[in-house]
Amino acid sequence: MKDMPRFNYTVEEINSISNTCIENLETKIKSIISISKRDRNFENTAYAFEKALNEISDIITVPIDLAYISDNPEIRKVSQSLELKISQYFVDVFTREDIFNALNEFALKSDQLGETEQRLLDKMLLDFKKNGLGLKEDKRSEVKKLLKELVEIELKFSVNLRDVKDFIEVSFEELKGLPEDYISGLKKTPENKTMSGVVPGSDAHQATKYIITMDYPDYIPFMENAESDDARRRLALKFNNRCAKENVKLMEDAIVIRRKIAKNIGYPTFADYVLSDRMAKDSNTVFNFLHRTIDKLKEKGIKELAERIALKKEKEPSCEGIMFSWQSSFYNNLLKKKKYSIDHEKIKEYFPLETVIGGMFEIFGKVLGAEFKAADLETWHKDIRAYEVKDKDGNLIAYFYFDLFPREGKYKHAACFGIRQGRELKDGVYQKPAAAIVANFPKPSGDFPSLMKFDDLVTLFHEFGHVTHHILTRAKYGRFSGTSVSRDFVEVPSQILENWAYSKEVLKVVSGHYKNPAEKLPDETIKKLIEAKNMDSGLAHLRQLFFSILDMKYHTLEGDVNTTELYRKLMKEISLVPMMEGVYPQASFGHLMGGYEAGYYGYLWAKVITMDLFSVFEKEGIMNSDTGARYKKLILEPGRTYDESGQVKKFLGRDSNEDAFLKSIGATETAKTVNTIIG
């Protein structure tokens, strides 16, 4: 089909794309700025610029995505170069006085525009002003130079993380506590590759060394289950020192540059510069929100930590009364097994990937009125699954892809990748959006299919929430399409879908034992999973609060910022768990160099909104397709076409407040209505 995304780019094509795109955009810009003041209108000025930007986005998005998902190192290399060149070019575009003057000239005509068109024009002008337009030439040039430096630094940071190949070696004895499918999927050191036939327990078997990488399917199960405290400590030490040599300096350089940009443009801090176009508006509002939330969660977190330390003392009577960072996941998991009889390694046997995916499509297809059909489409790797998305009338509306397993050079986390934006083309035709979930779940191993832990299932639902936002959009303009919302709202559609994972009705649909698909997750296990939902909600949210305040402090403090010392101080003070000695975890805090700088608070901010929205589903039925249709129409389809808080109010029929959030995490304090959060 003609409109399907393509991925089979060659090195030569990617190398030529930037020049071709830039030349085409320059031709269109020249046409826009040449129009006389008298003849300017929305179509030939604001919309013409928007359309030109959308068209270049359509061309470059996939080639740039390939830097993160291609298995060809040459493709990744040229794609990285393309991303840098295009990113720096857009700094040039949005610091150009002639384009700004053309847009401003039209704005001053005060033509009567529709609500959406006026919003588009206002957002465009704000972009230019935040890049220094309106300043004297010397300051404008300084801002432009700093913005280009920042792009280069942020990309270097991301590339370093993506290319991590660190690992530790462990003995068979140090794998005690790990399940058979995990062990069978591990690589051995080169001299032990021929050991597969060795008898377990023999001297030869004891000498075998296994490789534990920094990839999440290796790291997380090991930290949760390995009984060897020393092996967990060694792995945590390596994991929290990823890219330390290069990335600490890159982050601190970025913080300095960001501060200079904000000061030049007239903002007191970089956080205030960023937040001026977010729901929160300024850093004081964010700090007040974060500290208010800490006050409501601290007591719960302290009680949870004490319970885990008591369990540690049972296991190690002579231990000090401190929970170290490499121990917290292990004792949290141990407590789940002891207190709730939850063994996630056993539970994952009920979540084979194929069953989960089929169930997820069935559930959210019903709620949101969409159908996901496997399709023979072009992809970027043999492991990719492709789907056509159809509406309830059978019309093709979008494309969707799964890229679920780790491989060398691939993006290390889980994310929704935008492949193509939805937007209105000429004659009212709507461009079909496309998106992918890129993740790192366990691969099939030996006799075992890919088995998802319950946390993996929650992650999958989370990322699928982003996908629904991206592919179900009906925004007229690419600027407002799907996930192009305020950063402190973007996590709402992802976090709301997580709640379906705690429904008995849903878990029965997405589960089925890998040996007998008809055997669903037992009722008693489901009951315990739901009961255990908030067993660590205090500590888990305090950890998020720590990251949020760390980010805000990095981007509001004056003078030199020692990122390591501030991390150490705030981690112990807020998360209640001390940072281990000799590590530089900020060197792998990719969010702060990938779009969430001065914005990490958005996860919690969005969670408050999320739980308020979900309370309507709880009341009307989580499988209620009428509620789903209203949610799709008011929250997913508009993107950023309208003010987000206004759309939330329409859905709720009132202003949002913290009540549902506090109830959902088991906080005992009665919440007060705080309309300032999103009002």
Catalytic residues: 463
**Residue 251 CA, distance from chain mean position:** 19
Q: Which residue has the tokens 């309106």?
A: 134
Start-to-end CA span in the chain (Å): 45
Cα–Cα distance for residue pair 667/440, rounded to 1 Å: 32
**Residue 591, Cβ density class (10 Å: 0-12 exposed, 13-18 middle, ≥19 buried):** middle
Distances (CA, A) of 318 to 310, 312, 313: 12, 10, 7
Best CA proximity match to 595, nearest among 89, 253, 151, 130: 151
Cα–Cα distance for residue pair 405/199, rounded to 1 Å: 30
Contacts 24+ apart (CB under 8 A), 303-307: 303/538, 304/535, 304/536, 304/538, 304/539, 305/539, 305/576, 305/577, 307/335
Contacts of 395 (CB under 8 A, 6+ apart): none
Which strand ranges, in their side-by-side order, compose the sheet holding 396-403? Answer: 370-374, 385-391, 396-403, 434-438, 415-420
Cα–Cα distance for residue pair 397/467, rounded to 1 Å: 13
Characterise 110 by phi-psi region: left (phi > 0), alpha (psi -120 to 50), beta (else): left
Distances (CA, A) of 67 to 75, 151, 401, 652: 7, 16, 17, 41
* DSSP-derived pairing of the beta strands 434-438 and 423-424: unpaired
Q: Are 471 and 400 in contact (CB under 8 A)?
A: yes
Q: Which two tokens stand for residue 97?
A: 């006085």
Q: Strand ranges (DSSP E) for 582-678?
A: none
Give 99-149 as a DSSP string. Answer: HHHHHHHHHTTT----HHHHHHHHHHHHHHHHTTTTS-HHHHHHHHHHHHH
Best CA proximity match to 667, nearest among 531, 530, 538: 538
- 3-state secondary structure (DSSP) of residue 34: coil
Cα–Cα distance for residue pair 59/124, rounded to 1 Å: 21
Cα–Cα distance for residue pair 411/416, rounded to 1 Å: 11
φ, ψ of residue 210 in degrees (nearest 5): -110, 145
**Residue 463 CA, distance from chain mean position:** 8
Cα–Cα distance for residue pair 401/419, rounded to 1 Å: 9
Residue type, 266: G
Cα–Cα distance for residue pair 440/442, rounded to 1 Å: 7
Cα–Cα distance for residue pair 490/482, rounded to 1 Å: 9
Characterise 669 by phi-psi region: left (phi > 0), alpha (psi -120 to 50), beta (else): beta
